[in-house]
Amino acid sequence: MYKISEEAKAGMHATPEQLGEKLKGLPDDITRCSRNRPFNVTVRVKPSTLTPLELEEFNLEEWEKWYNDEENLAPYVPVPGKKGEEKISIEIGVRQQTVEQLYVEIIRIAPDTLKSSQILHRFQLCQDEEKKLKERKGSVDIGIYLWEWDGYINDVLETKLLKDETTYIRAVGVIGSAFKDDAVQLLAQPFKECADPVDWLDVRINRNTRRVDVEWRVAFDDGGVSGKANADTPSFEELTKLALEGIKKHWGGEINTAKGNYNVVVNPVLATEKAAPSLTLQVEMGSAYNRSVNASCACGTLAKLGRGLGNLFSDVTRVWYLQGFYEKHYFSKNSLIDDFMFTAAHESGHSILAGYAYKSTGLSNYSWVHKGSSKGIGSGYSLPQKGEKGYELYPDIGADLMKYYSRNKEISFSLDSYKSIEYDLKSLI
């Protein structure tokens, strides 16, 4: 990485002579200004939260209102919270004299671009009403202006690019011949100044195709085999493949937003860094139906303690491949695989619930009680009975992947019915 001076990071323009040794190793065009016609520009990203597609935040007040209302026995239906803004607020200053042209550039500075930075996109801006800048040609007078950028480059919003440590933003003011007499102001890693991003998930939104691609970075640990393996016992590599397929199968779908309908495609990717809390994949050869669980993201202290002591204390991150149970009761390998894939998708989904509902805390938090469809850790996550709060019958097609349901023997049952609901997909994004 190139080293940027503290002066440049803070938004203070300086000539090459003023920066001196601090410019060593940087491309020549990073910071410069006219020596004959003094002027400069500055750029600063204001505290911002870029919310793709203007999606709503989790409504903690409505959730707690439902959860604490003992008379409201109906299943919980999510209520959207405050609507987000699809914009980053950027302050641009023009000082000393009017510039004939003003540009904002999104650039990358990386070891493979030693001679000059790579310009990802260049916006030409002109002053508009109320000290705002809009995308068009024209001069800009002395003053401090606000430019609101939606984060899209050529109709594509890519959070991985915006969060990358090599992505920078700079403003360029021009007087005279283009890019000869000009003032350039670089701002280092501006998107780090916005709200802290989740480091294990990124989205790519294409406005033209109305598609959202989600890169969900996951990690799995090898729990081995409980009991004696046989010829049909899968390897850890095979379990990992099935877990990835399960996430992809049960997550994704269509969402309706303020910007129109979008198709969401979830792509789970194995990662060793910047991954969601890992899950242990383990084969059970006994006939018991062991309970899978993912408490790592809902209660960090318990997760750390459980991982430190292993099975001696608490098994807090485990997805069981119940080979012995299915061999005894169903004799169907396909059913066994479907169950494991579904369970991996469900347990992985707790990272999503705990992420967007992070303000819901305690042992009865939103994620642990499965949106109110289970009684939580104190009762072993047992299901509410008819007449109890949160009781809900399995609805067949459209079943919420992250909820628990009571079974009606008159309704056929299929794990294929369980999908991520629209609310969870929006909150994931």
Q: What one-character-per-residue DSSP string does 75-114 give?
A: PP-----SBP---EEEEEEEESS-BSEEEEEEEE--TT--
Strand, helix or coil at 336?
A: helix
| pLDDT of amino acid 109 | 77
**For residues 10 and 286, what is the distance between their CA atoms, to the nearest angstrom?**
62
Task: Return the number of other C-beta atoms located less than 10 Å from residue 212's C-beta.
Answer: 24
pLDDT at 29: 42
The number of C-alpha atoms within 13 Å of 288 and in the hemisphere containing its C-beta is 7
Spatial distance between the Cα atoms of 224 and 387, rounded to a whole number of angstroms: 42
CB atoms within 10 A of CB 232: 9
The pLDDT assigned to 285 comes to 94
Number of other residues whose CB lies within 10 A of the CB of residue 178: 12
For position 408, what pLDDT does the model report?
Answer: 81
**First-last CA distance in the chain:** 29
Which pTM does this prediction carry? Answer: 0.85
Q: Provide the 8-state DSSP code for 233.
A: P
CA distances from 337 to 152, 284, 305 (A): 40, 13, 31
Cβ–Cβ under 8 Å, residues 178 and 14: no
Residues 6+ apart with CB under 8 A from 310: none
Q: Are 94 and 145 in contact (CB under 8 A)?
A: yes
Residue type, 378: G
What residue spans of 88-230 are helical by DSSP H?
159-163
Q: What is the spatial distance between Cα 344 and Cα 335, in angstroms, rounded to a whole number?
A: 14
Give the pLDDT of the chain (429 residues) as one tens digit per residue: 233 344 434 433 344 444 444 444 444 444 455 556 677 888 888 887 889 999 999 999 999 999 999 999 999 999 999 999 999 999 999 988 899 899 998 988 765 554 456 889 999 999 988 799 999 999 999 999 999 999 999 999 999 988 887 888 888 888 876 556 677 777 755 566 555 567 899 999 999 999 999 999 999 999 999 999 999 999 999 999 999 999 999 999 999 999 999 999 999 999 998 899 999 999 999 988 888 888 765 443 343 333 333 443 345 789 999 999 998 887 688 999 999 999 999 999 999 999 999 889 888 899 989 999 998 777 767 899 999 999 999 998 899 999 999 988 777 889 999 999 999 999 999
Residue 379's pLDDT is 73
Structure tokens at 296: 């790592």
